[in-house]
Structure 1
Amino acid sequence: MSERDKYPAQSGRRRFVKGVVGGAALAGVGATGAATINSATQASGAGGGSTQAYAIENTAGPAPRGMPQIPVEIDDEGYLKGVWPEVKTEEQGGVSVQIAETEDFKGSGETYTTEWFQFCGVESYAGIEPDYDSENYFRSGSNPGYEWQSEAYSEGDRLHVDDFSDYQEWGNGVGDPGLGKPATGRWRSEDAEDTIPIQVIKSEQVMEMAEEDPWLEASTEDGFIAWLNKCTHFCCVPQYKSEGSAKFNAENDVYCQCHQSVYDPYSIVQTLFVARPRPSD
């Protein structure tokens, strides 16, 4: 195991880039073990198996891959929503199952599916069921990650674009100000036992990235980008511009305090992994 696999480098900075991680290389990392665990512990259900997703890139620490992106849209009143794929019924092994999948998402040429979110036990959450009744808004949680959220929102309030208007100047004393304004929250979790944690950033860099990339043009809007905020290592909840991250040169990144995994929200990559099937009813 290399030093990079154990902990983030103690010095040096990265440039913001976009890239594609080779599927063959990633498929060989832990795929056999994951498949064995899945077959031993999961009831047969919809989805699962080899899955390619777009994710914010894991750049350091023990996490095996990035955290999956959630496409964003803004409604007519300025509230932020996560896009849910098209729900349809398919025959799988002679059984009719519901899946949520959109091919050629908004003309990007890419398939967006809820199999992206089938890890860390999230596949068993009610909100990941294809037909779960949800309006898909991003909502502030009970313990927001940023002081500005506590001042602007009560628990359950929908995130609104107007509250990100100072994104070009915002800072919380961690890293460089003006890189983007973040918020934490939940998605498809109202009236559900389990909460799906998300993080959102509005940034000029996201706008620039979307100008050059069909997927990002389709999956971001007005500089907003979002992802399912569960570390792919041991499922902790990381944070952008987190206290304590400077020690690992991650003050301008998304940092997981549990085991020091680091993610770059301005580098969106394709990642191949073995998704767990949703438990059967």
Structure 2
Amino acid sequence: MSDKYPDDSGRRRFVKGVVGGATLAGVGATTAAAVNSATMSSGSGGGTTQAMAIENTDGPAPRGMPQIPIEIDSEGYLKGVWPEVKTIEENGVQVQIAETENYNGSGVTYSSEWFQYCGVESYGGLDPEYESDNYFISGGAPGYSWQSEAYSEGDRLHVDDFSDYQTWSNDIGDPGLGKPATGRWRSEDAENVIPIQVIRSERIQEMAQDDPWVQASTQEGFVAWLNKCTHFCCVPGYKQTASSATFGAENRVYCQCHQSVYNPFSLVETLFVARPRPSE
């Protein structure tokens, strides 16, 4: 049986070793039942979902992390677009959903269900009625030194602060691939924080010339995604740790927890079962 773990990680041998244990087999069955129960809990939305994501290329993650379409306001601040809020009837009950069909003429249906995994489905910011201006906000402990120097906690990310994106480097991987930032989205005055990551890159600009979805969902070379690893919900990073080179991920998004790797310059369609939002 093949898997996606990098050859030198040693994790392939570990997984094969523990799966064969009779005692752990029972634990696995119990865990699977718990996961199924959580996935099928009552609530609105959820079910089989097609999402656009940054591609998962290595490690145990089952799929990519969902993309957040970007727009830039008239003053140069970055915002994550929220889908159109509408009311539908679901199982005889009127519920609100957030969904935009044919987003910006791309032929893709953009939905808040893209983000309904890893417990995020219960976050206040994912409620269609949550009031937010949708700006990307820098946190108090950003992942990059340049960001700590440019922003205070709560500042909005701005185009001008990425002006050196064609040459930026922090001595991890190749220079000039793009300039990243970390932050949060739809999380102000909410109990939970929705983590995001942004990159500005020439590669995204080039992709947008020939791809209707990339053209519709990115702007001025900026791409963003919900930064929750689809494996065990850790928070990965782009060029945040030198150890990523051990797994060939120095130029990609790397999750230190279990070595999942994502390519931010490959936006692909992914199919998964979104969890329903909990009932109030």
Measure, in 2, the Cα distance between the counterparts of 1:162 and 1:142: 20
Q: Deviations along 1:211-256, whole A, 9 cap, x unmatched?
A: 1111110000000000000000000000001211001110000000
Judging changes above 3 Å, is the alpha-carbon distance between structure 1 residues 35 and 267 closer, same or farther for their aligned structure 2 residues? farther
Task: Identify the residue that residue 148 of structure 2 maps to in structure 1.
Answer: 150
Which runs of 5 or more residues in structure 1 are unaligned?
Answer: 12-32
1:241 to 214, 239, 243: 239
Contact 1:9 1:249 survives alignment (8 Å): no
Amino acid at match of 1:262: V
TM-align CA RMSD: 1.6
Q: How does 1:54-65 map to 2 (within 5 A)?
A: 54-65=52-63
Report how many aligned residue pairs link the two structures. Answer: 258
State the TM-score, normalized to the length of structure 2.
0.89
Task: Identify the residue that residue 83 of structure 1 maps to in structure 2.
Answer: 81
Amino acid at match of 1:179: L
- Larger Rg computed on CA atoms: 2
SS for the counterpart of 1:212 is coil
Runs (4 or more) in structure 1 with deviation over 3 Å come to 33-36, 38-43
Measure, in 1, the Cα distance between the counterparts of 2:142 and 2:32: 32
Greater relative contact order structure (CA < 8 Å, 6+ sep): 1
Name the stretch that deviates more: 40-49 or 51-60. Answer: 40-49
Contact 1:72 1:226 survives alignment (8 Å): yes
Judging changes above 3 Å, is the alpha-carbon distance between structure 1 residues 123 and 35 closer, same or farther for their aligned structure 2 residues? farther
Task: Identify the residue that residue 278 of structure 2 maps to in structure 1.
Answer: 279
Contact 1:203 1:224 survives alignment (8 Å): yes
Task: Identify the residue that residue 265 of structure 2 maps to in structure 1.
Answer: 266
Amino acid at match of 2:155: D
Pairing 1:256–2:255 present = yes
Measure, in 2, the Cα distance between the counterparts of 1:36 and 1:112: 29
Amino acid at match of 1:250: A
Q: How does 1:91-240 map to 2 (within 5 A)?
A: 91-240=89-238
Measure, in 1, the Cα distance between the counterparts of 2:167 and 2:222: 16
Judging changes above 3 Å, is the alpha-carbon distance between structure 1 residues 67 and 41 closer, same or farther for their aligned structure 2 residues? closer
Which runs of 5 or more residues in structure 2 are unaligned?
Answer: 10-30
Q: CA deviation at 1:42?
A: 5.4
Measure, in 2, the Cα distance between the counterparts of 1:101 and 1:200: 22
SS for the counterpart of 1:139 is coil
1:44 to 39, 42, 46: 42
